[in-house]
Amino acid sequence: MAALWRLLLLSALLAACELRCASAFRICAFNAHHFGESKSKNSVVMKTLVKIVTRCDVILLQEVRDSKRKALPTLLAQINRESRDQYDYVASERLGRTGSYQEQYAFFYRTGSVLVTGKYQFPDDRPGDKDAFAREPFVVKFKAPKTEIQEFVLIPQHTSPTNATKEMDALYDVLQDVRRMWKTENIILLGDFNADCGYLAKKNRDKVRIITDPNLKWLLPEDTDTTVRASTSCAYDRIVVNGRKLSNAVVPSSARAFNFQEEFRLTEDEALDVSDHYPVEVLLRSAAVPVKVRLRSAAVSLSCSLLLVLLMLLSQS
């Protein structure tokens, strides 16, 4: 009986800790692996996708292959039927060097806390190294009054696996263009960079400017596994923030891969029906609060962590 009570108390405390973080602003990126008409007709897959999207205030979806332009509206409609909050989305044109394989970037966002204030499709005929990307970034500026930084820009990229090093380096040029165009430092680069395993050799890392520039901070630990298959462990998907102000607005240690297979109790095959990638995410601090409130929150966080450790130790005794 004592063990049962300890377990119940531990569960309650975990719920309280999660609730404490719920007010933070969540930005996500997810390679939805060939999301198109076929997947949009799979009710089981769509149910999981809705759960993934509605965890986030803003989420980037990649590998959208919606040639008939029906899959994204179908997903939005289901989200808005099942979610307490309303969402909208903004999507790029179909991108790719050949007509046989093209993708879109799509950003879904919670309309009650986010507003799109700017869009920019990076051109494929820019001066210098033309056609550096298989799929040029579709850059979006968001206003988010409930966050500490109020406004930020997201630069997405799904690199070509065979050209990942060159495309990651070219993202640095996109970053500089966006900084000049919108006169902001609050910029996040995110997506499936293919930034690990056989696609980014260690000897090439010093050739990638978004890695070598000290003003850019890579949030996910290098050993993060962003892949679903048990047979792989690669940190393909990344989140990179620009500048000290934005770095300071990030909730410490909040960047992670979201293991939806474990969270939603799916088999590996069921998870792979959704995607072979996990979403990656990071939390931004809520709008500034008085110092006393912030200190109190920090104290609660420390107490919560200490009690969790204590209860876990007790549960094992």
Question: Between helices 291-316 and 2-21, what is the axis angle to 10°?
Answer: 150
**Is there a catalytic annotation at residue 103?**
yes
How many DSSP H helices and E strands does the chain contain?
10, 13
Strands (E) across 36-69 are located at 58-64
CA torsion angle 134 194 201 101 (round to 10):
-30
Q: Which spans in 153-243 are helix H?
A: 164-182, 209-212
Q: Which of 101, 105, 104, 36 is nearest to 75 (CA)?
A: 36
Distance CA 154, CA 142 (A): 8
Distance CA 288, CA 10 (A): 31
Terminal Cα distance for the chain, rounded: 13
Q: Please identify which of the residues 103, 136, 148, 281 carries the catalytic annotation.
A: 103
Distance CA 47, CA 50 (A): 5
Q: Please identify which of the residues 136, 148, 158, 281 carries the catalytic annotation.
A: 158
**Is there a catalytic annotation at residue 33?**
no
Give the residue numbers marked as catalytic: 103, 158
